[in-house]
């Protein structure tokens, strides 16, 4: 089934996943959330090595679609309300579960659920004039969708409490200082920079990259029981890893 709220291209080493509801600043509607879950599955089954996640138009994402939120609040029974609130969590979990490395390209506005989506990506680049905010408490609801867990993980409890409880806007510079983003890009250059980082990672042998992503996820989930020696051995006969190692060692010997 084609996508109508996003554009997905998995035909290159660096896949691109672009939220495509620019008229509503890529607000996360029910349909867009469902398409993101489906897109995550398509990416996982594709040959792409990395993914750049971005938004079309003048913002990355203005958060949950206000119409969807109003519908959820006004739903006639609790099961419907639960399903509506749970859909965002499912989306963030699906994006986080993509086995390839994901790089978020942030610009314009990154609001509420848009911050959760960005936090579900592995790396984040933001243009220097990007405006971030988490207005959920002003809307009378706590930040959901696994947002608190992800923010505590990325920026720690005190910054999470401050930004979520005050609902104040914050800048890309603050987001960088809080370690929410990896890099600040010039205006108009987040996508290009995110793509460069994604290309660099895509050029590396994919098995150790995937192992590293999975290892970090295990540590974050409190399951740090991996046997590093046994894991390292799984890469020894991997053709991509062997070829990378040979190139590296050849270049090293040529330098000395
Ligand atoms: N849900 C649905 N539509 C949204 C939206 C959202 N979360 N955010 C923006 N839009 C729509 C606006 O209604 C407007 O539509 P229109 O052109 O048909 O009137 C369009 O996107 C542009 O938004 P606008 O408010 O005119 O842009 P702006 O540059 O003045 O302000 C924001 C940008 C992000 C500050 C502002 O749109 C905003 O605060 N949006 C709501 C954010 C929010 O509360 N999200 C939910 C909590 S996560």
**Residue 225 pLDDT > 90, yes or no?**
no
Q: What are the structural domain ranges in the chain?
A: 6-202, 206-255
Which residue out of 62, 68, 107, 169 has the highest number of ligand 1 atoms within 8 Å of its CB and is therefore the one to mutate?
A: 62
Any ligand 1 atom below 6 A from CB of 147: no
Q: Nearest residue CA, atom 21 of ligand 1?
A: 24
**Ligand 1 pocket, 72 CB below 6 A?**
no
pLDDT at 224: 79
Q: How far is the CA of 25 from the centre of ligand 1 (A)?
A: 6
- Percent of the chain, pLDDT > 90? 93
Nearest CA-CA partner of 115 in 66, 67, 154, 166: 154
Q: From ligand 1's centre to the CA of 205, what distance in Å?
A: 41
Atom 1 (ligand 1): residue with closest C-alpha?
65
What's the CA-to-centroid distance between 64 and ligand 1, angstroms?
Answer: 10
Q: Which residues contact 223 (CB under 8 A, 6 or more apart)?
A: none
What's the number of CA atoms in the CB half-sphere (13 Å) around residue 58? 2
> Is the whole model's pTM more than 0.85, yes or no?
yes
Residue 197: pLDDT over 90: yes
Q: What CATH topology corresponds to 6-202? A: 2-enoyl-CoA Hydratase; Chain A, domain 1 (3.90.226)
Q: Sheet containing 109-111: which strands, arranged edge to edge?
A: 109-111, 131-133, 170-171
Residue 240 CA to ligand 1 centre (angstroms): 45
Q: CA-to-CA distance for 28 and 39, rounded, in angstroms? A: 14
- The pLDDT tens digits for 20-63 are 999 999 999 999 999 999 999 999 999 999 999 999 999 999 99
The gap from C-alpha 175 to its chain's centroid, in whole angstroms, comes to 15
Does ligand 1 lie within 6 Å of residue 68's CB atom?
A: no
The atom number, within ligand 1, closest to the CA of 134 reads 48
pLDDT digits (tens, 9 = 90+) for 94-125: 999 999 999 999 999 999 999 999 999 999 99
């Amino acid at each position: 089934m084609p996508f109508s709220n996003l554009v997905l291209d998995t035909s290159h080493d660096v896949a691109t996943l672009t939220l495509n509801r620019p008229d509503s600043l890529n607000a996360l509607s029910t349909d867009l959330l469902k398409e993101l879950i489906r897109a995550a599955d398509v990416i996982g089954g594709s040959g792409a090595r990395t993914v750049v996640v971005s938004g079309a138009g003048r913002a990355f994402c203005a958060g949950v679609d206000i119409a969807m939120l109003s519908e959820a609040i006004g739903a006639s029974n609790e099961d419907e309300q639960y399903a509506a609130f749970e859909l965002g969590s499912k989306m963030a979990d699906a994006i986080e579960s993509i086995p390839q490395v994901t790089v978020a390209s942030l610009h314009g506005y990154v609001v509420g659920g848009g911050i959760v989506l960005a936090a579900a990506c592995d790396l984040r680049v933001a243009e220097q004039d990007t405006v971030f905010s988490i207005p959920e408490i002003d809307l009378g609801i706590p930040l959901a969708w696994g947002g608190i867990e992800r923010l505590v993980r990325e920026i720690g409890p005190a910054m999470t409490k401050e930004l979520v409880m005050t609902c104040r806007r914050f800048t890309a510079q603050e987001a960088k200082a809080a370690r929410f983003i990896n890099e600040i890009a010039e205006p108009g250059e987040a996508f290009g920079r995110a793509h460069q980082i994604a290309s660099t990672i895509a050029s590396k042998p994919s098995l150790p990259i995937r192992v590293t992503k999975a290892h970090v996820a295990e540590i974050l989930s409190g399951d740090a029981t991996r046997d590093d020696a046994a894991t390292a051995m799984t890469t020894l006969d991997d053709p991509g890893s062997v070829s990378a190692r040979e190139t590296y060692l050849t270049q090293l010997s040529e330098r000395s």
